Structure 1
């Protein structure tokens, strides 16, 4: 699928969520999170919160198409970027818990796709005009992550165990240091925006390898985190369709926590 605008991105994600729900496909977990972020970005565009709403529509469309391309490549022949193959390759693994599926999607989309989309939206020196709007999305992400965290907590009653063993708090696990990752993505976007085609290919190869390594660390953590995740997996909901529905309605719930922005 290929989106022409942000409305197409929302519709494409909604289609993946619906199909995943019918098929019991865990691809719907990240798609549900991503759909809600995109809806919030679209709302911010309509409210005039960005410096350049039309530019942000283009940016979000480039960003969404990176995900759709990876999703389609995986469905077609198990292809696509390494980091997305790591994420999609665990969709049939019942031992991978809900929050890990979310982290794997966030990892690939922010640590690889975000820089590419930003550089394509603002090539050359034009990238610098995108900075403020790029940062504003951090607040939108924070708000959605908090709401989705409530859903994950309801679906995974032992998520708090990760606090007690000294891992990141449950919110920070799902947060995945989003602000830091987006700051690195901005640096890479500026780099890509000023490179020629050969240089960009080399940079993308490096980013994909690094992001795939991060995916493997998230999928197979060491130390006490591993048995904690096993306990979480043994107690969280295994009804994939119900989990997708719950995650996809996180922002619609009256209890959804409101963050900055």
Structure 2
């Protein structure tokens, strides 16, 4: 992460996205495939690569704004990775994933959803605020970019569930994994992130209140993540 930040101001916007992709690929090479953070990292890498592809194809009217949001968003995850690697406590929203990453009773789909929950439920709101400060604009000015990045995530959600669900024999209403997977919604998390970002922006002149709101959001998202990572019987 330190290397990514060091080049942030000197490299072109597109190369900054390339830095993020390269960092996530390197992390994936370092972790065992079954590691819970590695499971999420693969999912997030595919999302970031798809966003980058669409940016290069001109799918975002304001490519600079889209890249800024994409990079600020990724930095939140990478900081959590670095904190855990350095023996520090990552944000509360990420702690369950790092604590349970090697638990044999947690399924790959749970790891993926817990990571997405942390990143969308908490990090996306803060990344949008970070981007507004960087670009000198309001959240409403980035709504199109926010929605388009969210559309990529939603389009991949069903594929993620299909690839990581153990098999059709488990697709029953009484199965614990089916219940957990069905209880969480990316679209609701994205809507919540937009509302949280607008609230944080409205509180920007009240830093104490904004900090308290951010801490409570972090804790609430972490609680959901811990529930998603409930160990399940074989």
The question of a shared fold, defined as TM-score above 0.5 by the shorter chain, is answered with yes
TM-score, normalised to structure 1's length?
Answer: 0.76
For the Cα contact (< 8 Å) 1:102–1:174, is it kept in 2?
A: no
- Quote the offset at 1:78 in angstroms: 4.2
Counterpart in 1 of 2:144?
132
Measured against aligned partners, the alpha-carbon deviations of 1:176-231 in whole angstroms (never above 9, x if no partner) come to 311111011001111112323323211211111111111122123xxxxx7xx423
Other-structure match for 2:192: 184
Comparing 198-207 with 57-66, which one deviates more in the overlay? 198-207
Q: After the TM superposition, which residues 185-200 of structure 1 pair with which residues of structure 2 at under 5 Å, given as runs?
A: 185-194=193-202, 195-196=204-205, 197-200=207-210
CA contact (8 A) 1:78 1:85 kept: no
Contact 2:36 2:97 in 1 (8 A): no
Question: How far apart, in 2, do the equivalents of 1:55 and 1:68 lie?
Answer: 20
Which of the residues 121, 124, 130 maps onto 1:120?
130
Q: What is the match of residue 69 of structure 1?
A: 79
Whole-angstrom CA distance in 2 between matches of 1:217 and 1:198:
29
Q: Name the counterpart of 1:230.
A: 233
1:73 CA drift (Å): 0.6
- Give SS of 1:89's match: helix
For this pair of structures, how many residues does the alignment match?
Answer: 219
1:79 counterpart SS class: coil
The question of 1:8 aligning with 2:16 is answered no
Alignment deviations for residues 228-260 of structure 1 (CA, whole Å, 9 cap, x no partner)? x423xxxxxxxxxxxxxxxxxxxxxxxxxxxxx
Alignment of 1:218-257 (within 5 A): 218-220=228-230, 229-231=232-234
2:29 to 18, 21, 41: 18
Residue by residue, what CA displacement relative to the aligned partner does 1:93-122 show, whole Å, maximum 9, x if unpaired? 111111111111111111110000001112
1:36-185 matches, within 5 Å, as 36-123=46-133, 126-153=138-165, 156-157=166-167, 160-165=169-174, 173=181, 176-185=184-193
Deviating 4+ runs (over 4 angstroms): 166-170
2:11 is matched with none
Q: Which moved more, 1:189-198 or 1:205-214?
A: 189-198
Equivalent-residue separation in structure 1 for 2:123 and 2:222 (angstroms): 13
Give 1:161 deviation, angstroms.
Answer: 2.2
Q: CA deviation at 1:92?
A: 1.7
Q: Which runs of 5+ in 1 are unaligned?
A: 221-225, 232-261
